[in-house]
Amino acid sequence: MKRVLILFACVLSLSIAAKAQESSHFQQGPMAITSNSKLSVGGVIIEKELWDRYFSPEDLAAFKSGKTLETVGGIISCVGAFPLGFGAGYMIGWKIGGGPSDHRSYKAATTCLLVGLGITAVGLAIGIPGTVKMRNAVKNYNMSLSYQPELRFGNTPNGVGIAFAF
């Protein structure tokens, strides 16, 4: 029983030490925003808890507020897409089918289309400045790096060749 407890304590202490070493690792390289709006440094996704290691306080605040604006704008745009799609679908269906059978339903579809277009435009007007804030914070980080681009021969994603590394 004592051996099992000692073994368990050793494994636990090694696991804690590995976690501490992993969390203290500072990723090097240029920063980028991935296609799904995640932050990556040197090709490795950086978790939200570690953002303050990379940004200055001003850039961190700008990046976080930009992320919030982008998220809120995306939600509003998705809400607006439903009436926009509904109205556009009816309009296209009526154009193909020879026109509406009554004027009230045509007016309702037109109103739905315009409301959806307005809501989507508001969402885009909120989300685009958020994306710009995030990109500016990343640009400021990348400008602070002291690295030189280099042309080298070696492995590339497509095989062996010449790669321009930033």
- Predicted local confidence at residue 23, as pLDDT: 44
Element (H, E) at 45: strand 44-45
Q: pLDDT for 89-140, tens place per residue? A: 888 877 776 666 667 777 888 899 999 999 999 999 999 999 999 999 999 9
Q: pLDDT for 65-97, tens place per residue? A: 999 999 999 999 999 999 998 888 888 877 776
**How far is it, in rounded angstroms, from Cα 43 to Cα 34?**
9
- Predicted local confidence at residue 148, as pLDDT: 60
